[in-house]
Structure 1
């Protein structure tokens, strides 16, 4: 597969390395996002790329010296007792403005916690002749290096890149899929390059899921555990919370109850999963995150959501080789699962975009109760539960609101969908006295026309952020 997207990151790195000032660059993000591949595309044959393993410090130093010796003959002949000695020696012999990449940097720090202080001393000396890059998949540790004011490397990075999953429209261009197929595939693989590369080896999505995820010999069987091990020695809290979310426990108290813990006991792992972008908080449109009591927690990584929805609950069946049973479960639940991804893509397409004559703020779901009145009565006789898929306020015009309905199913009658949406909106507390822009987000062209805006999969992919 060709290298997908990352154009902005490549430009920033090339600009940094071509500068006369030596740069310290920090790159991090979850495993399989293509961090190493990105660096290898930017550096030249005259630069040094070193990938650390989980060996003892002296072995790591020796391996780095050997890697440098491939370009600087004889560099590995002396014995370097410390990181400072080998890095200082390299500084004396290297070509001016070369690049030294220390990949899997957290593995190096695991064995020698003084290494960040060593780098601080070298960076602060003002005598550095090369550009230094540290890279790693342990998101929490890498964030600590650059965001924690108590860390020796704090405030010293010239470039900080937290690589994110690649947006679906780039996969559509790279794989040459139609919009519907792109969204279905994206619902499983997310924006992770390695997953798409593996997927490309199979003729169909179904076969790829079966061979890569369901089969106990599949390379993605047990993938979450491999990712969590990068972040902590005890991964049970992470696994338990993700399993609870996969079962539909989205409230803080429900998650704690599902895993048999007090709410105070899940705070740290829940926050850690949020920091790593595996889960996110969801609050209704118009609510303050600090004040609302309606916060929900959702899995914010498509592959993880797929895994904990369809795979983790049936691990015992998979251990028996009953892949066909699990595939049936996937088949019956997949349309609704893709529908949730479609809903989030529709929200993203609206947020910050200029559509239908307005630029919209952050689009969110809304859920809550609406008062029910009888004719002639000013006090409600009851309450009705309402939910909306997409709600956004026009920037600079608080009296205009977009209200949207997302449907990921076969063609329906648009006029009926619109009538239901209007009837529901009239009851919603956020819509009172507002100008409403109605939008239908539909998988297929409808069976009837409707007096509203309609967006289809091609449109929604086109309006995704870069």
Structure 2
């Protein structure tokens, strides 16, 4: 099995083979995240039937596709006639399964399931009937459904109030690779890059396997990113036009919100989103925010007071951020070298590195030795008023063990050196933070950098401890 990372998901899928009962699994996630590849790799020896829905085809063509897929693996001198209903199609599948060897697990894999469900087709009712009236009476079936239209899978299957309500036995939301999984993926392809280079690529495209699969051994970061974004056949040049459309039915709404969030690094409140995106509030906006969150495009960040109305929604999808910053509206340069010379590059790289840290708080907690401690991660901005100093903190890890880590994140090319002025600024930040938030917790200042921070007298005066980029890869 050639697959990097995904250890928890692999372990779950493999455990179903040993279960003495049938299982119904939904695997969902964004486009090109590796859902189909994962299922095929894990169940290579157990797969007895696989069929993928056909994009934007009618019920008759979906049924024909299903029938032909079944006949392809079960050739007969007199095959059954093409089904006219989904109920009939699943009965043909049942007849085929009844001919299979008893006592071994059999995987039925229905990929891109949202495309099967055409208007008034009855597909979901027939699927429910197949699972409830056939699979649950056996102990040897693993029914796997999969879809890139994550909002459809969540609404129609996972949160279904109809026939499929509570039918699923397991669900797997496949998210982008972590930094550690990205490193393992590169090693599988014999691509040898430094941790900083891997982080740099991740900051541009995230951990989406499809975006990373064509990276070649021996290429520099500049060559890799030119091939992804700027060459004539670059796979990510026009990816944005397909990304949200593949996931969400009313994708224009989602794109407006994402674009609005791209204008403010620290995030926007719900009211600010309504104002900047020019959209209406209400249930529709709530649904879209939930869908974008579930698919890993945005992150709700609750401030120290944890009041819902003060929640900030932050855009954390690397590709979307890069697209709005350097590609949309003709912003695209001709090469990565030109990007690095642009005025906004340093600001973007600092913010993108912050996002990396927000997405790897589990790894940060492990580095702190507090994996089992409940935490809340957020940034903090307080405007100065009445003669009091304002502060801005990149990342705060607020811990249930009576401690707070204020993280200062530095994406530098060399060892960072703390000056006397910066040390005093850090101490002031901690003091103002405690004053403004009335926190009684112990406040520790932590530096997180690529190549470390020199432990000079100013560092020793202000900084409690430091982490390296290596800690994000654990």
Q: Same fold (TM over 0.5)?
A: yes
Say yes or no: does 1:304 pair with 2:320.
yes
Aligned match of 1:158 in 149, 156, 169?
Answer: 169
Say yes or no: does 1:237 pair with 2:247.
no
Q: What is residue 74 of structure 2 aligned with on the other side?
A: 72
Q: CA deviation at 1:168?
A: 0.5
Per-residue CA distance 1:277-303 (angstroms, 9 max, x = gap): 21222233x22142x53x332212111
Moved more, 155-164 or 433-442: 433-442
Aligned match of 2:416 in 412, 416, 431?
Answer: 412
Moved more, 53-62 or 347-356: 347-356
Measured on the aligned residues, the alpha-carbon RMSD in Å equals 2.9
Change over 3 Å in CA distance of 1:90–1:432 after alignment to 2: closer
Q: What is residue 466 of structure 2 aligned with on the other side?
A: 454
Unpaired segments of 5 or more residues in structure 1?
A: 372-380
Q: CA deviation at 1:216?
A: 6.3
Paired residue secondary structure (2:416): coil
1-structure distance, mates of 2:43, 2:450: 43
Change over 3 Å in CA distance of 1:43–1:266 after alignment to 2: closer
Moved more, 195-204 or 55-64: 195-204
Q: What is residue 192 of structure 1 aligned with on the other side?
A: 208
Q: What is residue 377 of structure 1 aligned with on the other side?
A: none
Change over 3 Å in CA distance of 1:459–1:353 after alignment to 2: closer
Unpaired segments of 5 or more residues in structure 2?
A: 187-191
Q: What is residue 139 of structure 1 aligned with on the other side?
A: 150
Change over 3 Å in CA distance of 1:363–1:257 after alignment to 2: closer
Q: CA deviation at 1:198?
A: 2.8
Paired residue secondary structure (1:382): coil
Paired residue secondary structure (1:79): coil
Paired residue secondary structure (1:426): helix
Say yes or no: does 1:361 pair with 2:375.
yes
Q: CA deviation at 1:29?
A: 0.6
Q: CA deviation at 1:433?
A: 4.5
2:364–2:471 contact (8 Å) kept in structure 1: no
Say yes or no: does 1:11 pair with 2:19.
no
Q: What is residue 51 of structure 2 aligned with on the other side?
A: 50
1:183–1:338 contact (8 Å) kept in structure 2: no
1-structure distance, mates of 2:93, 2:439: 68
Paired residue secondary structure (1:339): helix
Q: What does 1:174-323 correspond to in 2, within 5 Å?
A: 174-175=185-186, 176-200=192-216, 203-215=219-231, 217-248=233-264, 250-263=268-281, 266-284=285-303, 286-290=304-308, 292-293=309-310, 295-312=311-328, 314-315=329-330, 323=334
Moved more, 75-84 or 223-232: 75-84
Aligned residues: 442
Change over 3 Å in CA distance of 1:41–1:154 after alignment to 2: same
1:367–1:385 contact (8 Å) kept in structure 2: yes
Change over 3 Å in CA distance of 1:130–1:261 after alignment to 2: closer
Moved more, 212-221 or 296-305: 212-221
Q: What is residue 403 of structure 1 aligned with on the other side?
A: 406
2-structure distance, mates of 1:216, 1:267: 39
Per-residue CA distance 1:80-119 (angstroms, 9 max, x = gap): 2222212222212322432111100000013554211112
Q: CA deviation at 1:21?
A: 1.4
Moved more, 346-355 or 81-90: 346-355
1:31–1:227 contact (8 Å) kept in structure 2: yes
Change over 3 Å in CA distance of 1:134–1:149 after alignment to 2: closer
2-structure distance, mates of 1:261, 1:441: 38
2:180–2:472 contact (8 Å) kept in structure 1: no
Q: What does 1:385-400 correspond to in 2, within 5 Å?
A: 385-395=390-400, 397-398=401-402, 400=403
Q: CA deviation at 1:229?
A: 1.6
2-structure distance, mates of 1:171, 1:231: 23
Moved more, 188-197 or 119-128: 119-128
Change over 3 Å in CA distance of 1:20–1:168 after alignment to 2: same
Paired residue secondary structure (2:389): strand
Change over 3 Å in CA distance of 1:26–1:142 after alignment to 2: same
1-structure distance, mates of 2:228, 2:364: 34
Aligned match of 2:118 in 101, 110, 115?
Answer: 110
State TM-score, norm by structure 2: 0.83
2:90–2:126 contact (8 Å) kept in structure 1: no
Paired residue secondary structure (1:228): helix
Change over 3 Å in CA distance of 1:18–1:89 after alignment to 2: farther
Change over 3 Å in CA distance of 1:91–1:253 after alignment to 2: same
Change over 3 Å in CA distance of 1:231–1:343 after alignment to 2: closer
